[in-house]
Amino acid sequence: MNIPRSPSGAQTQQWVLGAPNTSAADRSVPDGVDAADLSAYSMMLGDDALVLAHRLGQWGARAGLEEAAALGGIALELLGQARVLLARSGELEAAGRDEDRLAYFRDAEEFRNVRLAEIDCGPGAGGDFAATVARLLLLATWRLAVYQGLAGTRDGVLATLAARSLPAMLDHRDHAAQWAIKFGDSAASADRMAAALGRIWPLTGELFVPHPVEARLADQGCAVDPARVRGDVGRSLDEVFSVARLPDPGEFAEFERPGGRDGAHTAGMPFLLAELQHLARGTGERPRGAAVPRQQETGRSAR
């Protein structure tokens, strides 16, 4: 594995996302933890961020200049998270692939994001800005709850990234919540948001069913069992729906594997990747694991 070591052979500490405010992240694998599991988990979280960033970025200026700037800022933050997480995944796997190779030279079945991140909510045909807001509200609320738990985990990279990302992730959730409240201001727009929630709700169950890797690492203090955040996410959403005067969509959907964490994706995933990866693949594949020079990185509650 490509774990940085000092000249004496000891594993060293390095910075995550540039210079953290107070501490360096220990990139060593915690005692008793399987590096392959930690690599897979980092890939799951990284793919969530990468795919959602791409979907948000598709709106561009079509969302209006002010909202384009807001969605672009959220997408940029997600890309920063994806870069750290995929780099962590790559350094722990036997192949030693870098973050660019993981992002741009995997096929759909190799991605491990939840399917809610990948569905097409617009701006293309069949899409709708209300559905984009609903999806962002769900995923931002869920990811915030997961990262709050990650900030206290034993893995130095995940804990440092999570702690530094929390303020921005809170902004992501609040941005989506404010839009949901705006949609609730009139009967017509409230109906539109209710329809959007109905469209994405069947995919919510996957957010709270742990993959075996997540379950193992959670038991070892290096991950968050998503089932444990179900109540917090449900309560947070209930508050938004109440303030927005939107109808409650009901319990989170049921889910049985396989899903996105297993590489089983929706029919739209190959098209998403074709758009995401066409430039990198079109300019020629780099040598396996080669790095690119770069600047410093900056259940619902039970009822």
Please list, in sequence order, all residues whose beta carbon lies within 8 angstroms of the beta carbon of residue 259, skipping any fewer than 6 positions away. Answer: 114, 115, 206, 209
pLDDT digits (tens, 9 = 90+) for 239-271: 999 999 999 999 999 999 999 999 999 999 999
**Quick one: which of 100, 46, 157 has its CA closest to 291?**
100
- Beta strands 13-14 and 25-26: pairing type? antiparallel
**Quick one: which of 143, 142, 135, 232 has its CA closest to 176?**
135
pLDDT digits (tens, 9 = 90+) for 71-121: 999 999 999 999 999 999 999 998 889 999 999 999 999 999 999 999 999
pLDDT digits (tens, 9 = 90+) for 173-221: 999 999 999 999 999 999 999 999 999 999 999 999 999 999 999 999 9
pLDDT at position 274: 94
pLDDT at position 63: 66
CB of 296 within 8 A of CB of 17?
no
Let me know if 213 is exposed, middle or buried by CB neighbors in 10 A (0-12, 13-18, 19+).
buried
pLDDT at position 136: 97
One-letter amino acid for residue 267 of the chain = A
CATH T-level assignment (fold) for domain 31-282: Ferritin (1.20.1260)
Position 127 confidence tier, pLDDT thresholds 50, 70, 90: confident
Q: How far apart are CA 176 and CA 138, in angstroms?
A: 9
pLDDT at position 198: 95
Percent of the chain whose pLDDT exceeds 70: 84
Lookup: tokens for 270: 């190959």
CB of 138 within 8 A of CB of 287?
no
Angle ∠(229,36,114) on CA atoms, nearest 5: 40
Which DSSP state fits 205?
G
| 26 membership: H or E segment, kind and range | strand 25-26
pLDDT at position 7: 34
Phi, psi of 106 (to 5 degrees): -115, 150
pLDDT digits (tens, 9 = 90+) for 25-81: 788 999 999 999 999 999 999 999 999 999 999 987 776 777 889 999 999 999 999
Q: Which residue has the tokens 């999570």?
A: 162
Domain ranges within the chain, ordered by starting residue: 31-282
Q: How far apart are CA 273 and CA 281, in angstroms?
A: 11
pLDDT at position 193: 95
Measured between its terminal Cα atoms, the distance across the chain in Å is 46
